[in-house]
Structure 1
Amino acid sequence: MNLSLKTLLKTTQVITVSAAVTLTGTLDALASNDKYKFNLALESGDRDSAQGKSMQQWANLIKEKSDGRMKVNIFYQGELGGQQEMFDQLVKGNIQMMVTWPQTSYDERLAVNYIPYLTLGWDDALKAYGENGWLKNILGPVYADIGLKYFGPYPEGFGGIATKGKYATSYENAQGMKVRSAPVFPLPQTVQAMGFQAVPIDWAEVYTSIQTGVVDGDSSNVIYWDYEYFRDQLNYYVHSRHNFSSYALLMNNDTWNELDAEDQKIIADAAQVVINQQFKDARAEDEKWIKAAQKAGMEYVEPSTAEMQAWVKRVRNDVWPLVEEKLGAELMARIRANASVPK
């Protein structure tokens, strides 16, 4: 049975059924009996993807630790709309939880998550995005300002450029090649600085755009997405590593604030379990899909050290000043102080 988005969201709104407070002699114990049902949406990834399985783990942990009082309905890619539409619904509270690439339409400071060539290797990325990482400490307050609770990142790895028919590992060779970019600042600007023609396209339209020749390929994703969803269309994957692909685990802040401390802890602790596990799994997962893509016939290309250095220099020179205009000099100074140093 097909339900409209409005009806679906309405019927699964957070509902409080009952509340009971157990008091001790010192009033230091607060036990919740409230019952909740939450919507958790994925902008990309089906139930069998690594991301889909991680979100099921989050939902299962919440249900288990709350003795079934809190249940989470998961909606996979495309079931509740496109990226921007779902993010809008998250901010409004119609969707209570989401794993997503943040939309900078609400606050341009979220562009911090997409600064190109910010980290240049796994060790640096983990230090930046980890539980106590310097980048997480920057992102949390920004999310709070737009009404969202930020639990942390869902890292996937370093993105690349996947193309059809030909590939490029330099600014000069990329001229005339059109690649899809997520419509989020500064990803299109990054791809443009690398020499490609950036075409901002929503995820749901990428396959058709490649198939019909609107674009020659996809950009900024780890190889999993290009192999799993477009391998019959794409021949090459250049591991340019220009961005660290990291989603965000989020919750509507009004919904979060309605919960008592016990239930907040259950949800936050469950999120941290998922995040910690993904940090352990992400690198191995990425390497697994690189091998799978190669076995299936996709050519995996690593730019030379000189080619990488040229891209890093050009992109930082062209794009970082644009980012500074959005973030301000003070915040950008913190970022420059912590960014990876090219070798």
Structure 2
Amino acid sequence: MFKLKGIAAVATAIAMLLPISAQASDKSYKLVLAAESGDRNSVNGKAVASWASMIKEKSKGRMKVNVFYQGELGGQQEMFDQLVKGNIHMMLTWPQTSYDKRIVVNYIPYLVLDWDDAIKSYGQDGWLRKLMDPVYKDIGLKYFGPFPEGFGGIGTKGRYATSFEKAKGIKVRSQPIFPLPQTVQAMGFEAVPIDWAEVYTSIQTGVVDGDSSNVIYWDYEYFRDQLNYFVQSSHNFASYSLLMNGATWEKMDAEDRGIIESAAQAVIEQQFKNAKAEDDKWVAAAQKAGIKYIVPNAQEKGAWVERVRKTVWPQIEKELSPEIMTQVRANASTPK
């Protein structure tokens, strides 16, 4: 894996990768773009490759983008750190909350409850987009928008659960990002925060009984020989973010910014069109492969929604400003 040593090499090369000045649109750029997860053949991998290709085409070759896929530049937190520092210029990632707890808004459980609400909230003119823009700016990042995948679930082997009571004793991996471990814990599972690169081995060796909070694609594509069940709990809406280092962005002139942003928006718009169909495709593929796909009934899901909002939302409120939480409560989906 291309880890700290590789990151250091990227950092050393930054002076050569970026122009001294970007006062006119005749400068050449070589930028580093990374996907936190997904190989080159995954949806994420194809998305970053498309972003890079469009930037090169729109700039007539002045702006070249070196693309790195999952694991090639390190782990989730490490890569996000390098994005903030400017050693990675652009990234498709689940943003870490280590720099600003307000990023927790991305991960509020049971915030939206169906696809219509998700598209309305996360879309270009959605309230969440408007809420998150200034948060990323304060960290020193340019936010282009969300890259939605769909609703997360619980993939397990041996047994599954659709209620708090039945979940007792089932250990599931959780992304090490607040409040995702707290969410699956509130649902009754035992949450074990593990970095993505270590999930397969952890399931294989019994450290955990499964994975949580990912859309079914990831559990099918990477763990289908280990998992028997996928419960569509839909406790989180899985959405990556397209981000750019703010200092790099500020050095560019309006034309070059426009090239990068228009390409990012094209990627985002395409994903919004494709996300549900893509998720449905992998549900069918998982079922064909022998993974039992379970959708909790309205009563079971309602009980989880009530328990999680009652338990986890107050924890989130302590990390956010009253103004943000007021907006969250005003715009959150109402259980049907």
How would you bin the TM-score normalised by the shorter chain? over 0.9
Residue in 1 aligned with 2:6? 4
| Closer/same/farther in 2, CA of residues 17 and 321 from structure 1, 3 Å limit | closer
Alpha-carbon shift at residue 276 of structure 1 (Å): 0.2
Residue in 2 aligned with 1:281? 274
Alpha-carbon shift at residue 150 of structure 1 (Å): 0.2
1:188-227, aligned counterparts within 5 Å? 188-227=181-220
Residue 242 of structure 1: SS of its match in structure 2? coil
Is 1:157 aligned to 2:150, yes or no? yes
2:220 and 2:37 mapped to 1: Cα distance?
14
Is 1:70 aligned to 2:63, yes or no? yes
| Closer/same/farther in 2, CA of residues 18 and 196 from structure 1, 3 Å limit | closer
2:216 and 2:158 mapped to 1: Cα distance?
17
Q: What TM-score do the two structures reach when normalised by structure 2?
A: 0.97
Alpha-carbon shift at residue 9 of structure 1 (Å): 4.0
1:168 and 1:271 mapped to 2: Cα distance?
39
Is 1:79 aligned to 2:72, yes or no? yes
Alpha-carbon shift at residue 331 of structure 1 (Å): 1.1
1:70-219, aligned counterparts within 5 Å? 70-219=63-212
| Closer/same/farther in 2, CA of residues 255 and 217 from structure 1, 3 Å limit | same
Alpha-carbon shift at residue 12 of structure 1 (Å): 5.5
**Kept in 1: contact 2:150–2:275 (CA 8 A):** yes
1:11-40 residue CA offsets vs partner (Å, 9 max, x unmatched): 36532178675xxxxxxxxxx101101101
1:229-244, aligned counterparts within 5 Å? 229-244=222-237
1:248-286 residue CA offsets vs partner (Å, 9 max, x unmatched): 000000000000000000100000000000000000000
1:138 and 1:63 mapped to 2: Cα distance?
31
Letter in 2 for 1:274: V
**Kept in 2: contact 1:47–1:53 (CA 8 A):** yes
1:70-112 residue CA offsets vs partner (Å, 9 max, x unmatched): 0111100000000000000000000000010010011000000
**Kept in 2: contact 1:107–1:146 (CA 8 A):** yes
**Kept in 1: contact 2:187–2:307 (CA 8 A):** yes
| Closer/same/farther in 2, CA of residues 68 and 334 from structure 1, 3 Å limit | same
Q: What TM-score do the two structures reach when normalised by structure 1?
A: 0.95
1:146-169 residue CA offsets vs partner (Å, 9 max, x unmatched): 000000000000000000110000
**Kept in 2: contact 1:193–1:314 (CA 8 A):** yes
2:21 and 2:334 mapped to 1: Cα distance?
54
Residue in 2 aligned with 1:16? 19
**Kept in 2: contact 1:101–1:246 (CA 8 A):** yes
User: What is the count of residue pairs matched by the alignment?
Assistant: 333
**Kept in 2: contact 1:101–1:248 (CA 8 A):** yes
1:111 and 1:323 mapped to 2: Cα distance?
7
Residue 219 of structure 1: SS of its match in structure 2? strand
The farther-off stretch of 7-16 and 53-62 is 7-16
Residue 64 of structure 2: SS of its match in structure 1? strand
1:304 and 1:214 mapped to 2: Cα distance?
30
Is 1:309 aligned to 2:302, yes or no? yes
Correspondent of 1:61 among 54, 58, 64:
54
Residue 185 of structure 1: SS of its match in structure 2? coil
Residue 162 of structure 1: SS of its match in structure 2? strand
Residue 164 of structure 2: SS of its match in structure 1? coil
Q: Cα RMSD between the aligned structures? A: 1.4
Letter in 2 for 1:240: S
2:62 and 2:305 mapped to 1: Cα distance?
50
| Closer/same/farther in 2, CA of residues 267 and 309 from structure 1, 3 Å limit | same
Residue 249 of structure 2: SS of its match in structure 1? helix
1:45-86 residue CA offsets vs partner (Å, 9 max, x unmatched): 000001111111100110000000001111000000000000
Letter in 1 for 2:304: W
**Structure 2 residue runs without a partner (length 5+):** none
